[in-house]
Chain A
Amino acid sequence: MGPNLWINYGEAVAAILFCIGFTNLLLQTNLIKKIIGLNIMDSAIYLFLAEKGYIAGRTAPIVTDGITSVEAYINPIPSGLVLTGIVVSVSVSALMLSLTIRLYIRYHSLDLDEIAAQLKKEGR
């Protein structure tokens, strides 16, 4: 164990959330819950990244009163990266949800194992 676990509590929470999402993605049989797990996993990574840019006692990186000194603002890079990441995660979840709808219409089930068994039965 390193020295910084209690100072980095935000990252620790992010890691725990990441693992919860990961477990959901692996173990849930219901597709909708898998997708929620996926979203939680993504959010956890973004939380981790946003914590990286935070500097205590400084304000958001929007120039006020023409002050452009480094001491005034937090690091803007992680915010930008997370902004990009959120777009990616919303696109991915829309895609997954559309796949779910199609599978349900065809097989009336949300369980992948069950669908696989139906496919086997149909022999296609």
Chain B
Amino acid sequence: MSKRKPAEEYHKTFAFHFFSWLQGEKDPYLGNVEMKPQEEYVIDPEMQLRHEKEHDAILDKVYDMAHNRELRLFHRLYQATSILFCLFLMALLLVTISHLPATGAAVKPVNNEVAARYIESGLEETGAVNIVAGMILDYRAFDTLGESHVLFVATITVLIMLRLDKNKKGEPNPLTRDMNPNDRIYEPKNDAILQLVASFLVPIIIIFGIYIILNGHLGPGGGFSGGAVIGAGLILYLNAFGFSKTERFFTEKTYKWICFFSLSFYCLAKSYSFYTGANHLHSIIPKGTPGAILSSGLILPLNIAVGLVVACTMYAFYAMFRKGGF
């Protein structure tokens, strides 16, 4: 590369274009690529040596079986008891299972009046063609309310663990240094194949996810599976185009408010239905004609709320794992 020419001039030469094409920064067909290709992760040899030394010292201490007979005995004992316990548990469970009612039989304790009522009057009482959806979102809705909060609290704990906040003075978190810097600076490699495929697939995946959510009361599916599909689509988009593109429409604020509104709607709607149910009041929510898309009372809106929460949560998990924030 020529060093005699000033930078501006050099940028116009063929050599510059050629070399930048060679390094993958520029594509004659797509134009400038956003970022440099990812460098291979190279461990700092000094760090590596230090870690290995520490590691060996620790290993010597922990697994120094020759000098530490007590420890060895304990390890052996632990392994032996664990294996014995598991074998015992397996034998116990197999014996138990051999005494359980036969699988596939129509007459057994499980198939009692509860299941019968769900099947026979589920369509009438909940308006949902998919009996499972009717069951989890109407008959046993309290479980499902708890379930969505399990997801919520798991996100909160992941945020606590992995979100890298700046401290009071605006300095970055000291952990940022320890996290692999390569992964944060060089975002996903701008791969033309991946981008082309993603631009095909992402809309299809997201539309399919929306179909699953909206169809939850009519066929297999529902808020959770549809939300997971949409989340997978968003993750694919992120991988293909990088954080700078997704940040245009999805930041932490978006996530916070979507989650807040969906969960609040869920809580309030279900509170209303629990309250009216327990106090034997008439619920004003119409059931609609079974089979139509706008039917089955609260099930469709609840599915949409759950779907939004799940999609955002899945994307948030991925973003947290990837770079410690959105």
Contacts and interface: CB of A to CB of B under 8 A. Distances in A.
Interface of A: 1-5, 7-12, 15-16, 18-19, 22-23, 26-27, 51-56, 60-63, 68-73, 75-81, 83-84, 86-88, 90-92, 94-95, 97-99, 101-102, 105-106, 108-109, 113-114, 117-118, 121
B131 A54 contact: no
Interface SS of B by simple majority? helix
Nearest to A51: B103
A20 B100 CA distance: 21
B224 A55 contact: no
A54 B104 contact: yes
A13 to B, nearest CB: 10
Leading 9 A-B pairs by shortest Cβ distance: A91-B154, A2-B99, A2-B98, A5-B98, A56-B104, A15-B93, A61-B131, A19-B90, A98-B161
Given A55-B105, A56-B104, A62-B131, A76 B119 contact: yes
Contacts of B89: 19, 22
Q: Which of A2, A53, A91, A99 has the most CB of B within 10 A?
A: A91
Contacts of A81: 143
A115 B207 CA distance: 46
A76 B116 CA distance: 9
A98 B136 contact: no
Contact of B119 (A5, A51, A70, A109): A70
Nearest to B162: A98
Q: Which of A56, A61, A69 has the most CB of B within 10 A?
A: A61
B162 A75 contact: no
Contact of A70 (B120, B179, B220): B120
B158 interface: yes
A52 to B, nearest CB: 6
Contact of A80 (B58, B132, B150): B132
Contacts, number: 186
B320 A98 contact: yes
B247 interface: no
A55 B104 contact: yes
B62 A117 contact: yes
Contacts of B90: 15-16, 19
B253 interface: no
A74 B175 CA distance: 52
A102 B150 contact: no
Contacts of A1: 95, 98
B129 interface: yes
Contacts of B111: 55, 70, 75
Contacts of B115: 70, 75-77
A23 B256 CA distance: 39
Q: Which of B58, B59, B85 has the most CB of A within 10 A?
A: B58
A53 B147 CA distance: 21
17 contacts: A7-B103, A10-B103, A15-B90, A27-B82, A63-B130, A68-B122, A72-B119, A76-B119, A77-B114, A80-B135, A80-B140, A83-B222, A83-B224, A88-B147, A88-B150, A94-B158, A118-B54
A117 B59 CA distance: 9
A60 B219 CA distance: 10
A85 B51 CA distance: 40
A106 B147 CA distance: 32
Contacts of B110: 52-53, 75, 77-78
Given A87-B224, A94-B158, A109-B55, A12 B97 contact: yes
Contact of B178 (A23, A106, A118): A106
Given A12-B97, A15-B94, A87 B147 contact: yes
